[in-house]
Structure 1
Amino acid sequence: MSDDKKPKPVDLDNINLDLMKLKVTDMPSLLEYAHTVGGFAITPTNQGAIKSNARSAMVEQTEEQLNIIYEQMKTLAKQVQDIKKRVYISDLIYNVEIPFTPVIGKTYYLYEENTGKRYLSLVSPDEWGKAMDSQVFLAEIRLNADHTWKVIKSTIELS
């Protein structure tokens, strides 16, 4: 073996520790470059572009989710209005004269006489003929199983 290939003894007295601190790290995984022969290079990225793309995706997703919730709210609001109308007309009907026992699923007619008195009838406006002159047709309704009334046709404003 030649002299230049022989390992040289380490001279501990000549080691410059301050210089060594600049060449070593406690956490090599945080270095911006490969710190071993087989390591891969870590190149800095454009953080602004990455964050901008991520934020755009986040905004798009949350907007889509909010739109879905908004559509659900509109559906629920319509259902609330429909229930309010059913309750209104049901309350109106239960405060008028009903000379018979209504049957669930059957269609009935709500009228108002010239005197302002309202009543429920089995007779449709087409079946009244000339007698219709003394009353005003208000609504065609059907009794639901929950004893609310479904409005089929109406000439009155529901509040």
Structure 2
Amino acid sequence: MKNGKPDNVVFSIENGYNANILPYATNVGAPVIKTDDVVSWKNRGISNVNKEFANKFNELKMQYQKLMEEYEWNELVYNAKFSFEPVVGEIYHLYIAEDSTYFLSLISPQEWNKEHIGTFQLNSDKKWVLIN
């Protein structure tokens, strides 16, 4: 008990008796202050966010693969030989000729004996859509 004050009394010369405004316990009868376990909270948060990022990445990866597949089919059809102007909404068939060139035809695979690559339909965006 220095200076005539008990040890468990909070007193400072600048602030006086300020125990009621301090963010921590100042006497023996005060409740115990426990620090929260933020490490486990952070780990759960990191795990959840990483799963969400992985799911979004996989979704974008699938969309990219689908887009690239559509691009490759469109490039193949547009580079094929055909001597007519395709009509939007009509169905066309892509074949490979004996000289290994591709050609587009209105004739279905059941009507003749050529190597059939795929059946396509031209949509309004001038994009060839693979039907089968």
For 1:120 and 1:70, the matched residues in 2 are separated by 41
| TM-score in terms of structure 2 length | 0.76
Matched, 1:149 2:131: no
| TM-score in terms of structure 1 length | 0.65
Higher-helix-fraction structure:
1
For 1:148 and 1:90, the matched residues in 2 are separated by 7
Q: Which runs of 4+ in 1 moved over 6 A?
A: none
Matched, 1:91 2:75: yes
Structure 2 unaligned blocks of 5 or more: 13-17
Matched, 1:118 2:102: yes
Q: 1:17 to 1:61 in 2, by over 3 A?
A: closer
For 1:74 and 1:152, the matched residues in 2 are separated by 25
Which residues of 2 match residues 64-79 of structure 1 at below 5 A? 64-79=48-63
Structure 1 unaligned blocks of 5 or more: 1-15, 35-39, 154-159
Structure 1 vs Structure 2: percent identity of aligned residues?
A: 23
In the comparison of the two structures, how many residue pairs are matched? 123
**In the alignment, which residue of structure 1 is the partner of 2:40?**
56
RMSD: 2.5
Q: 1:44 to 1:117 in 2, by over 3 A?
A: closer
1:24, distance to aligned residue in structure 2 (A): 4.3
1:109, distance to aligned residue in structure 2 (A): 0.7
**Aligned to 1:125, what secondary structure does the other structure show?**
coil
Q: 1:90 to 1:44 in 2, by over 3 A?
A: closer
Among 81, 86, 91, the alignment partner of 2:65 is 81
**Aligned to 2:120, what secondary structure does the other structure show?**
strand
**In the alignment, which residue of structure 2 is the partner of 1:18?**
3
Larger Rg: 1
